[in-house]
Amino acid sequence: MWDEAFPSFLIGLREGLEAGLIVSILVATLVRFGQKARLPQVWTGVAAAIALSLSFGAVLTFTAANLSGHAQEAFGGVLSLIAVGFVTAMVFWMRRSARTLSAELKEKVQASLAMGAGALVLTSFLAVGREGLETSLFLWTNVRTAGESTGPLIGAAVGLVLSAGLCWGLYRRALKMNLTRFFTITGAGLIVVAAGVLGYGLRDLQESGLVGGAGSYAFDLSAHLDASSWYATLVQGTLNLTVTMTVLQVVGYLVYLCIVMTLFVEGVRGGKAAPAAGTATAGTAATAEPAETGGQAEPVRSGRPRWVLPTALVAVPVVVAGAVIAVSGGKQDSTATVSVSEQECGKGFTTPVPGQQVFQMHNTGDKVSEVYLVNPASGAVYGEIEGLAPGTTRALTATIGSGDYAWRCVPTGGKSVTSASVHVTGGGEVKAVKPVAEDDLKGPLDTYKDYVNKGLATLLTQTQKLQADVHGGDLATARADWLTAHLQYASLGAAYGTFADLDGRIDGRPDGLADKIQDKDFTGFLRLEYGLWHGQSAADLTPVADQLTADVAKLGQDFPGQDFDPGDLPLRAHEILENTLQFELTGDTDQGSGTNLATTQANLVGTQELLTVLQPLLDERDPQLLTRVNAGMKRVGDLVAAAHGPAGWTPLEQLPADARRQLDGATGELLEDLAPIPALLEIRKAA
């Protein structure tokens, strides 16, 4: 975690200090001109800039989370390149501007004082907002690169807190600091970090298919270096250098680092003739004036060639990393290289010792292969690698206990090959996953589809009753019948494309539509809910009810013939309540009826139906899982039921804060209990 924190710490420290210095200069200038009463205008602009930066980060996170796998790779790759561009520009801009920053801002503040409050707010907003947006983008990129958020977020937070302390010390004349030197050193560090982000972004674009060369590796050291070792993790976390890199990654990394670092170092050397106006003495951090020079400063030249210093900055980290690897002895003894091909599987596999082992699986064949470490008698899986490409090596970590072990390789389009088994003694009992074949899920799928078909027939009857209410102008009865029909639909598990495009027409939200509530494409239950609880007439709602009934009828006709992947069935057990937490328990779907909690209860019914049909398979693989899940289901169900009284359902916004927190927490905990189900019931070719 801590190795992932350093790049974010560096960006937080540098960007935080830039923004903090700007705020300090703004505040000091106002104080000097006797305008303390206008300080709230500065803080208003700063607060708006912070809010914009946080919103930008949230938009990036939400956008990425709602894209497909390839789209996520493309999105992340493009934003990584943009982040590299921003950071590079920022590094060079601050190197040039550090000595004159104070004077430029003073001029802007004086102009703002003459123009009024709005201009001062805008000045502080623009000055801080740019740094905030850069920080959000680069931090989001670091989190994606690291694959986890804790380390990068802690690093950024520490950097921002430290920068705030430095700015306070400079402003209060309690600290002396050479800002030019500070921005030079951190600039060089950020260039190295940005080179790694560039390489990672190029790899994302290759994996998305937008850029070719995904299979052209410059080097693959996974057979010689342990990717999970502390030194490999440290190098990857700080420099984004991995044990396997493509030609494009390496070329992009080296070209960027050599060119940008050379230009940066030459610029620093060329600027040394200027007076040391960038030194912030006590009290001058916020008020220092630019130094006057008598003419064009001549660059200072040393006797060594220009390329020596940039080359050293590039080469030293590589030499240090190599020395660490050499001293540590390279790959740990606990690893072993095992070959995979269409003809043989497990070549090089010898009897392992008990405990956690790392196997380097190397595909020597011509086809992509699935690789499983199995119990040869039962087929239970101890570890797996999906999609091992020809000529590549990937690590598989597994815990070895007493028992029999073998490798099973399943090449794409070919027959599975199983290695000779080995017997291990002296270890403890290790839990394995009994594999699921597609045929194992056909019975539960047929049962679930029968449940949905019967539910759709009931739904059509209820929707027709609702349609008749609207046609007859009896909107009070329509509101009651609307809830009955909508809850029936919610109990059928319409999550993540179960009902294809018809789900959007029957129960779609107005989010994303051009005209929101008024958009012509806003149809179905939620559109009818809006009209029934916002005083629209029966005449206005008749076409909505007619369209809803027609769509429900079409769904009843189409669903029996829909192509339903059996492997998707275990996903529904988690996804239905994931939708519930995201949309129902936030009130996002409420269009006036205040019945989000009723819909939550219906979603629980749909989830319980799925668990019932999957129970035999789950009990075989984890007998205790459903015990935990059923306890969580009851806990959430009881909390929801408490909101239903003689007068009806309590609207979500009227639920006491403590009750709402308990419900959110219980639902989140239930989702964690449900999360293992897709992995337990994943269709594996080893079966």
Following DSSP, what letter does each residue of 107-174 receive, concatenated?
HHHHHHHHH-HHHHHHHHHHHHHHHHHHHHHHHHHHHHHHT-SHHHHHHHHHHHHHHHHHHHHHHTT-
Boundary-marking domain end, from 424, 454, 479:
424
Task: Give the CATH number of the domain where residue 348 resides.
Answer: 2.60.40.420
What burial letters (b/e) apply to 588-599, b meaning 16+ CB within 10 Å?
A: ebbbebbbbbbb
Domain-embedded: residue 596: yes
- Once rounded to an integer, what is the mean pLDDT over residues 55-70? 62
Residue percentage of the chain with pLDDT more than 90: 30
CB atoms within 10 A of CB 395: 16
Same domain, 369 and 455: no
Same domain, 442 and 543: yes
Same domain, 412 and 469: no
Task: Give the CATH number of the domain where residue 626 resides.
Answer: 1.20.1420.20
In sequence order, what are the residues at sequence separation of 6 or more whose Cβ sits closer than 8 angstroms to the Cβ of residue 416? 408, 409, 410, 685, 686
Q: What local confidence, expressed as pLDDT, does residue 273 receive?
A: 47
Q: Position of tokens 């999105």?
A: 75
Q: What local confidence, expressed as pLDDT, does residue 234 receive?
A: 61
Same domain, 561 and 659: yes
Same domain, 220 and 348: no
Q: What local confidence, expressed as pLDDT, does residue 120 receive?
A: 63
Which has the minimum average pLDDT: 114-128, 216-230, 308-322, 458-472?
308-322
Same domain, 345 and 475: no
From CA 646, how far away is CA 639, in angstroms rounded? 16
Q: Position of tokens 């907003």?
A: 125
Beta-bridged to residue 373, according to DSSP, are: 383, 407
Domain-embedded: residue 565: yes
Residue percentage of the chain with pLDDT more than 70: 70
- Once rounded to an integer, what is the mean pLDDT over residues 173-202? 72
Same domain, 68 and 122: yes
Q: Position of tokens 């009227």?
A: 654
If one compares 303 and 59, the residue with the highest pLDDT of the two is: 59
Domain-embedded: residue 329: no
Cα–Cα separations (whole angstroms), residue 432 to 374, 386, 405, 622: 8, 17, 11, 10
Q: Is the pLDDT of residue 332 over 70?
A: no
Which of 275, 278, 93 is CA-nearest to residue 181? 278
Q: What local confidence, expressed as pLDDT, does residue 305 receive?
A: 54
Domain-embedded: residue 293: no
Same domain, 448 and 409: no
From CA 265, how far away is CA 294, in angstroms rounded? 24
Same domain, 215 and 354: no
From CA 207, how far away is CA 199, in angstroms rounded? 12
* Token code pair at residue 71: 């789209």
* Token code pair at residue 133: 């947006």
Domain-embedded: residue 686: no
Q: Contact at 8 Å (CB) between 541 and 531?
A: yes
From CA 371, how far away is CA 648, in angstroms rounded? 55
From CA 128, how far away is CA 108, in angstroms rounded? 14
If one compares 547 and 208, the residue with the highest pLDDT of the two is: 547
Sorting pLDDT into bands at 50, 70 and 90, what band is 644?
Answer: very high
The alpha carbon dihedral of 578, 671, 569, 598 has a sign of negative
Same domain, 347 and 317: no
Q: Is the pLDDT of residue 346 over 60?
A: yes
Mean pLDDT comparison of 192-196, 239-243, 246-250, highest-scoring range = 246-250
Same domain, 498 and 578: yes
For helices 247-270 and 179-208, give the axis angle rounded to 10 degrees: 160
- Once rounded to an integer, what is the mean pLDDT over residues 409-429? 88
Q: Is the pLDDT of residue 367 over 50?
A: yes
What is the model's pTM? 0.52
| Domain count for the chain | 3
From CA 422, how far away is CA 340, in angstroms rounded? 17
| Main-chain phi, psi angles of 395, to 5 degrees | -85, 140
From CA 663, how far away is CA 657, in angstroms rounded? 10
Q: What is the pLDDT of residues 596-641, one digit of tens each?
A: 999 999 999 999 999 999 999 999 888 899 999 999 999 999 999 9
Domain-embedded: residue 621: yes
Q: Contact at 8 Å (CB) between 206 and 93?
A: no
Report the half-sphere exposure of 27 (CA within 13 A, side-chain side).
Answer: 20
Boundary-marking domain end, from 424, 452, 487:
424
Q: What is the pLDDT of residues 25-58, one digit of tens each?
A: 677 767 766 777 777 877 887 788 788 777 777 7
Q: Is the pLDDT of residue 524 over 90?
A: yes
- Residue 523 φ/ψ region, left for φ over 0, alpha for ψ in the -120 to 50 degree band, beta for the rest: beta
Amino acid at 640: V
Burial of 642 (0-12, 13-18, 19+ CB in 10 A): middle
Q: How far is CA 122 from the centre of its chain?
A: 32
Cα–Cα separations (whole angstroms), residue 638 to 441, 632, 634: 31, 10, 6
Q: Is the pLDDT of residue 668 over 80?
A: yes
Which of 19, 36, 15, 35 is CA-nearest to residue 124? 19
Q: What local confidence, expressed as pLDDT, does residue 554 receive?
A: 94
What burial letters (b/e) apply to 208-236, b meaning 16+ CB within 10 Å?
A: beebebeeebeebbbeebbbebebbbbbb
Sorting pLDDT into bands at 50, 70 and 90, what band is 167?
Answer: confident
If one compares 126 and 449, the residue with the highest pLDDT of the two is: 449
Q: Is the pLDDT of residue 285 over 60?
A: no
Q: How far is CA 367 from the centre of its chain?
A: 31
If one compares 443 and 37, the residue with the highest pLDDT of the two is: 443
Domain range holding 253? 2-288+305-324
Mean pLDDT score of the chain, rounded to an integer? 78
- Three-state secondary-structure class, residue 426: coil
Q: What local confidence, expressed as pLDDT, does residue 428 receive?
A: 81
Burial of 669 (0-12, 13-18, 19+ CB in 10 A): middle
Q: What local confidence, expressed as pLDDT, does residue 174 receive?
A: 53
What separation, in Å, do the N-terminal and C-terminal C-alpha atoms of the chain show? 36
Same domain, 404 and 316: no
- Once rounded to an integer, what is the mean pLDDT over residues 356-374? 89
Domain-embedded: residue 381: yes
* Token code pair at residue 256: 């960027």
Q: What local confidence, expressed as pLDDT, does residue 288 receive?
A: 39
Q: Is the pLDDT of residue 290 over 50?
A: no
Domain-embedded: residue 433: no
| Main-chain phi, psi angles of 493, to 5 degrees | 75, 40
- Three-state secondary-structure class, residue 414: coil
